[in-house]
């Protein structure tokens, strides 16, 4: 795809990667990649992703057609609830919610489709049927919509915080309280497009937690989210000095993770409660710990 276009008035003064993201409808990370590989330019001057778009600039976009390998299928991903409107999977670690730039592993959406599960046509391209997500490194329950009616209603329920999402997390150290709430705004960290942080400019974020068991050097907690920000649990617990065990991105101790046999953050989506989009019946789905998380808890108990 090749095209020339005057810089839109609404994007004058914006960073070039932000402008390209808006013009193409892609993520900022993808836009930065397009700029850095020379597929987006401004005629007559040299631009980096951080350069400012000026009035009178003409943007030249010439995208290289990408060749895609077939997506691998997560055959070991259990379906724990399914009807004509929704499907709830128990997502294993290492599976993304949907396809994204740079990800070549299996996805929830792609695996369901390849296993013959029909999904809603509503949603952004490549994300149809997806109304909530889990990080690649987080396991547990994730709901996907099969019907368009379900997509519309479940998106509303998630946006209105009517869905009850319960996670279990293992955090470093011994939490002083038995239960508490963390309320702090979360936004993208300036040092990285992939990290998030507490910042006054961020979006309001609220996390409630209760202690399940204390191991001395770590504490197992039950977590309920009022909001669903990216990396919310990881960022919030790191901000109070108790990062998730196995999460070096947000301050987790790699020595402790190694001793417990963890190669990812100890975080699992345990329980999902929602009002069925068609029948309006309150529906609850529960999960169990996967083997690596259970092993880490056993190792802690043995050490204590």
The pair of structure tokens assigned to 7 is: 């810089």
**Is 178 annotated as catalytic?**
no
Q: Is 261 left (phi over 0), alpha (psi -120 to 50) or beta?
A: left
Nearest Cα neighbor of 212 from 303, 135, 293, 273 is 293
Length of the chain: 304
Contacts of 38 (CB under 8 A, 6+ apart): none
Other Cβ atoms less than 10 A from the Cβ of 80: the count is 15
CA distance 66 to 287: 38
Active site residue: 62, 76, 83, 135, which one?
135
The pair of structure tokens assigned to 142 is: 């994730």
- Residues belonging to the active site: 135
């Amino acid at each position: 795809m090749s095209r020339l276009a005057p810089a839109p008035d609404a994007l004058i003064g914006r960073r070039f990667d932000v402008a390209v993201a808006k013009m193409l409808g892609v993520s900022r990370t993808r836009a930065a990649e397009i700029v850095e590989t020379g597929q987006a330019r401004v005629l007559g001057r040299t631009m980096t992703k951080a350069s400012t778009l000026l009035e009178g600039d003409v943007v030249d976009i010439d995208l290289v057609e990408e060749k895609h390998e077939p997506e691998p299928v997560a055959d070991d991903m259990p379906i724990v609830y399914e009807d004509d409107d929704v499907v709830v999977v128990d997502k294993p670690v290492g599976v993304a919610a949907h396809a994204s730039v740079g990800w070549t592993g299996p996805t929830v959406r792609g695996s369901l489709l390849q296993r013959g599960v029909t999904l809603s046509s509503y949603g952004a391209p490549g994300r149809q049927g997806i109304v909530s997500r889990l990080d690649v490194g987080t396991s547990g329950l994730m709901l996907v919509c099969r019907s368009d009616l379900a997509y519309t209603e479940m998106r509303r329920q998630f946006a209105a915080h009517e869905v009850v999402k319960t996670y279990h997390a293992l955090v470093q150290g011994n939490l002083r309280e038995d239960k508490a709430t963390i309320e702090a705004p979360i936004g993208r960290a300036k040092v990285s497009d992939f990290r998030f942080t507490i910042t006054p400019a961020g979006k309001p974020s609220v996390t409630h937690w209760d202690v399940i068991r204390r191991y001395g050097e770590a504490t197992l907690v039950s977590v309920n989210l009022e909001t669903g920000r990216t990396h919310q649990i990881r960022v919030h617990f790191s901000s109070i000095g108790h990062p998730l065990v196995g999460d070096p991105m947000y301050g987790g101790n790699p020595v402790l993770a190694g001793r417990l046999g963890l190669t990812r953050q100890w975080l699992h989506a345990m329980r999902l409660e929602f009002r069925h989009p068609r029948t309006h019946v309150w529906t609850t789905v529960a999960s169990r710990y996967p083997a690596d998380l259970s092993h880490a808890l056993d190792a802690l108990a043995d050490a204590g």
